[in-house]
Chains A and B, each alone.
Chain A
Amino acid sequence: MNGIQSDLLNALPEIFVLVMAMFILILDLFLKSENRIAIFLLSQITLLGAAFITIFTYTGGVGYSFSGMFVDDPLANAVKLMIYLSTSIMMFYTRSYISLRGMFRGEFYSLILFAMLGMMIMVSGQHFLTLYMGLELLSLCLYSLVAMDRDNFHATEAAMKYFVLGALASGMLLYGMSMLYGATGSLNITDVANALQNNAQDHPVLILGLVFVVAGLAFKLGAVPFHMWVPDVYQGAPTAITLFIGSVTKLAAFVFVVRLLVQGLSVLVVDWQGMLIIMSVLSIALGNVTAIAQTNIKRMFAYSTISHIGYLLLGILSYSPTNPNGIAAAMFYVASYVLMTLAGFGMILLLSRKGFEAENIEDLKGLNQRSPWFAFMMLITMFSMAGVPPTLGFYAKFSVLQSALQAGFVWLVVYAVLMAVIGAFYYLRIVKVMYFDEPLDHHEIRNYPEMNMVLSANALGLLILGLMPQRLMDICAYVVVRSLQ
C-alpha cells in the first residue's frame, strides 16, 4: 500500500462524513418540506456508515497520515464511536422539538454533521494546526446552531456571547501554541514532546505558552474561572442545541486536552497539574454551590456541567508519565457524563411541546403521576449524576477518585467527596418535584415512539452499565494505554 492510500485510509471516516454532509446540504435544496424526513434518515445513515468505516479500518495500532499531522489510534477510534453514538441519540431526541419550532431544515443536520466532523478532526489531530482547524470547524458550526432560531432574542444573545468569548479563547489558544512553537521549533505534537524531552524545557516562554494553552482549553471545557459563557449559552440556546453543546462536544474537548497536555506537554506535567488542581477545586465548588440557587433547569444543568468538568479534571490531573490510569478514569468519566447529560436533556425535550418550553424545574412537578415510567427514567439519570450507586455515575466518580487518591491527592479527594454531597442536593430536588409534588401541567406526554424508546434505553443504560461497568472501563483503559505509549 503506497503512502497516499494509507493516508486516506486513516482519514476515511472523516472523508465519508464530509462528503455526506455536503450531499445532504445539496439534497435539501431539491426536497419538498414534507419529504424532509429523508434528511433525518440520511444523517442517521451517515453516522451508521461512519461507525462501520471506523470499525472496519481499525487496526489496533497507531497510524499517522499527512506527514504526521493526523493520527489514527485506538483512543481516536473509540472516542469517534462514542461521538457517533451520542450524535445519533441527540438527533433522535431533537426531531420533534425542532420540527415544532421551524428548525427542521437541512442546515440543521448538515451543521450538526460538520460540527461532528470538526470533533473528529480534533480527536485525530496530532498537530497544533490540525487541532485548531477541527476546533474552529466545530465552534463555527455551534455559533450558527445557537443562533438558528433567529427570531428568538435570547438565542441571538447567547450566540453573540458564545461567539465573542469563543473567539477570545481560540485566540489565546493560538497565541499559546505560537509560543510553544517558538520554544520547541515545531507544531507537531510528537516533535514537541521529543523536543521537550531533549532539554528544551527550561525555555521561559514555554511556561507562558502553557498558561495560554491551558486557559484556552479551560474556556472550551467551561472550567472555572473561564466558565462565564456556559450558563448563558445553555439557557439561551434552543434546548436541542444545548443538548449537543452540553454532551457530545465534551468528548472532543477531553481528547483535545489529552493530545495537548498529555501527549505534547507531558514533560511539563508538574506545571499544568498545579493549574488543573486550582481549576478543578474552583469548578467543583462553584458548579455545585451555584446550581442549588437555579430555578431554570437548563441553567442548573449548566452549573452541574461545570462541576462535572471539575471531577473530570481530577482524573486528568492525576496523570503521571508512569501511570496513565487517571486518563482512563477521566475518559470513563466523560463517557458516563455524556450519557447522563443526553438522558437529562432528552427528558426536557420530551416535556416540551408546541408553544411550550419545559425550562423550569417546576415543569417537572408531579411527573410521577403523569408518567411513572419517564419519572423513573429521570430518577435514574438524576441519581447517576449525583453519583449514587448502582448507577453509572457512581463508577465514574469512583474511578476518578481512585486515580486521584493513587496519585496522592488525599485531601483533594476528601474535598471532592464533600462537594458531591452538596451536589446531591439539587439533583434530589429534581426527584423531589417529580415524585413529591402535584403536577401543574396535565398535558399528555407525547412524542415520536422512537424517541421514547431511545430515551428509555439511554436511561436504563445508565442503570445497566452501573450494574456491569467492566466492559466500558476496559475499553477506556485499553485505548488509553495503547495510545499514550
Chain B
Amino acid sequence: MSVFPTLTLSIWVPIFSGILVLFTGDDKNAKAARWFALVGSIVSFLVTLPLYTGFNFSDGGFQFQEGFQWIPSFNINYHLGVDGIAVPLILLTSFTTVIVVIAGWEVIQKRVAQYMASFLIMSGLMIGVFSSLDAILYYVFWEAMLIPMFLVIGIWGGPNRVYATIKFFLYTLLGSLLMLVAFIYLYSQSHSFELIDFYQIRLPMNVQILIFLAFFMAFAVKVPMWPVHTWLPDAHVEAPTGGSVVLAAIALKLGGYSFLRFSMPIAPDASHYLSGFMITLSLIAVVYIALVALVQKDMKKLIAYSSISHMGFVTLGFFIFNPLGMEGAIVQMISHGFISSAMFLAVGVLYDRMHSRQIADYGGVVNSMPKFTAFAVLFAMSNAGLPGTSGFVGEFMVILGAIQANFWYAFLASTTLIFGAAYTLWMVKRVFYGDIANSHVAELVDVNHRELLILVLLSILVLGLGLYPQALTEMTHATVNQLLEHMTHSKLPASI
C-alpha cells in the first residue's frame, strides 16, 4: 500500500498547524495566530482536494488505503481509507474549518491562539474519524475530538456554557463507551479491530441486537436522534459561532456516517429487524422537533431544533434501505452542513452587533442591513427546502425513497416541508422584516468584506449543490449500492 499518503496528510496537516498556532503564545501575538491559522486551514483544505480529483467513481470500496501496524498485541492498525460516503464529508470538514477561521477573525479577542488551534486540531481529528478503517483508531479520533470541543464551548461560550459543555461531554462519552464495549466484543470474535474483518463476522440475532443498540447509543447521541437530543440545543446556544458551525456542520454528521460505517454492515439483520424502531424515532424527530422549533424565542435554539429535525431525515433515509433514500440522506447531510453553517454564521453576524439572540429584540433588520438580509433569506429558503437549493434535493430524494417503502412514512416526512417553512420563514419575518424594532436595529452596520466572503462562498455551495447534485451523487452511488448489496446477505450463523 505504498501510495501517496493523502489521508495521513489530511489528518495531520491541520493538527500540526494547530500545534504551531498554539506556539504563537498569548494575545499579544493574536495577529500572527490568525494568519497562521488561516494559512494552516487553507493548506489543510488543499491537501484534501486530491481525494476528489483522484477518486475512482466506479469503485464502491475503500480507496486511498494506507496503514501500518500500530498496537500489534491487540492487532490494532493505523489503517486509513475512504469510500464515496466519506470523501464528501472530509471535504466538508476541511472547507468548514476555513470558514470557521475566517468567521472568528475579529469576533474572538480572548485567547485567540487557543481558539484557532482548537478548531484546526478538531478538524484533523474529525477527518480521522471519517477515514479510519480500524475500530480503535476510529474510537481514538472520535473521543479525542471531544476534548477541543469541550474547551471551545467552555471557554468562548455564552453565560451557561459550563453546564452545556459538561452535558455535551458526558452525553457523548456515555454512548461512546458502550460502543467501545461492542468493539471489544467484536474483537473477541474476530481477533482483529479491522473494519473489514468486523464485516465478515457472523453473529446470532440477540447479539446483533445488543451490538446494534450499543452503537445506537453512541451514534444516536451524536446525530442526535429524539429522545437523546437534549444536549444539542444547550450546546448550540452556548457555543461561540464557530463552535455551533462545527457542531452542526460536521459533528452531527459523525453520527450519521457511523450508522453507515458500523451499525448497518456489522449488524445487518438487527438493522432490518429494528428499522421500524429507527424510522419511528426519525419521524418523531422530523415532526415533533419541527413543532418544537416553531415555538423557540432564541434564534440559535430554533436553528438547533431545525438541525435535529433535518437530521431525522438523514436517519429516515438510511433505514428505509433503498438507494434513493440512502443517497438522499447523504445529500441531506452535506447540504445541512452548508445550510446550518450559514444559518449559524448569520446569527453570529447579528449577535456580534447586537449581543442578543432573542428574536424579540429584532425586527426590520432589512432596513439597515440589506445585503446581509438577501443572503440570510436565501439560506432560510434553502433550510425550508426551496427547489433549486441544496435543502430541496436531499429532502425530496428521501421522501421519494420513503414512498417506495411506505406511503405514511413519506406523508409524515413531507410535513416538514410545511413545518420547516413555517418556523424558518416566521423567524425571517420577525427578524428581518416588519417595523424597525428599536434604535439598536436602526444603527446596525451591514456586513463587511470578511463576512461577505463567507456568505458568498456558502451561497455558491448551497445553490451549486441544489442545481447540480450529480457532483455528489455520482460519487456516493457505487458505495451506496455496495452497502445495500452487502446488507441483503444475512449474517446470522448458518444453521447446522
Contacts of B140 in A (CB 8 A): 389-390, 394
Q: Does B71 lie within 8 Å of A473, measured CB to CB?
A: yes
Contacts of B150 in A (CB 8 A): 428, 431
What is the chain A residue whose CB lies nearest that of B146? A388
A236 to B184, CA, bound (A): 41
Query: How many A residues touch B, CB cutoff 8 Å?
Result: 36
Asked if A414 lies at the interface with its beta carbon under 8 angstroms from chain B, I say yes
Q: Does A428 lie within 8 Å of B169, measured CB to CB?
A: yes
B180 contact from A401, A406, A424, Cβ within 8 A: A401
Q: Does B154 lie within 8 Å of A432, measured CB to CB?
A: yes
Q: Does A421 lie within 8 Å of B170, measured CB to CB?
A: yes
Q: In terms of DSSP, what is the predominant structure of the interface of chain B? A: helix
Asked if B70 lies at the interface with its beta carbon under 8 angstroms from chain A, I say yes
Q: Does A417 lie within 8 Å of B73, measured CB to CB?
A: no
A417 contact from B136, B155, B170, B180, Cβ within 8 A: B180
**CB of B156, distance to nearest CB on chain A (Å):** 10
Q: Does A398 lie within 8 Å of B180, measured CB to CB?
A: yes
Contacts of B174 in A (CB 8 A): 418, 421
Q: Which residues 364-405 of A have a CB within 8 angstroms of B?
A: 368, 372, 379, 383, 388-390, 394-395, 398-399, 401-402, 405
A425 to B144, CA, bound (A): 16
Contacts of B114 in A (CB 8 A): 368, 372
Instruction: Assess A389 versus B144: contact at CB under 8 Å? Given A405-B185, A421-B170, A424-B170.
Output: yes
What is the chain B residue whose CB lies nearest that of A429? B166
A420 to B184, CA, bound (A): 16
Contacts of A401 in B (CB 8 A): 180-181, 184
Contacts of A429 in B (CB 8 A): 166
**CB of B42, distance to nearest CB on chain A (Å):** 26
Asked if B493 lies at the interface with its beta carbon under 8 angstroms from chain A, I say no
A436 to B111, CA, bound (A): 12
Asked if A435 lies at the interface with its beta carbon under 8 angstroms from chain B, I say yes
Interface residues on B, range: 35 or more
Contacts of B184 in A (CB 8 A): 398, 401-402, 405, 413
Asked if A63 lies at the interface with its beta carbon under 8 angstroms from chain B, I say no
Q: Does A424 lie within 8 Å of B169, measured CB to CB?
A: yes
Q: Does B147 lie within 8 Å of A414, measured CB to CB?
A: no
B173 contact from A372, A410, A413, A424, Cβ within 8 A: A424
Q: Does B161 lie within 8 Å of A474, measured CB to CB?
A: no
Asked if A68 lies at the interface with its beta carbon under 8 angstroms from chain B, I say no
What is the chain A residue whose CB lies nearest that of B156? A436
Q: Which residues 26-81 of B have a CB within 8 angstroms of A?
A: 26, 70-74
**CB of A425, distance to nearest CB on chain B (Å):** 6
Q: Does B188 lie within 8 Å of A405, measured CB to CB?
A: yes
Q: Does B177 lie within 8 Å of A435, measured CB to CB?
A: no
**CB of A431, distance to nearest CB on chain B (Å):** 7
A469 to B143, CA, bound (A): 17
> 10 smallest A-B Cβ distances: which pairs?
A389-B140, A417-B177, A436-B154, A421-B174, A389-B143, A470-B71, A405-B184, A402-B184, A390-B144, A390-B140
Additional A-B contacts beyond A420-B173, A432-B154, A436-B155 (9; CB < 8 A): A368-B155, A389-B139, A389-B143, A399-B74, A417-B177, A421-B174, A425-B166, A428-B169, A473-B74
Give the A-binding residues of B (Cβ under 8 A): 26, 70-74, 111, 114, 136, 139-140, 143-144, 146-147, 150-151, 154-155, 161-162, 165-166, 169-170, 173-174, 177-178, 180-181, 184-185, 187-188
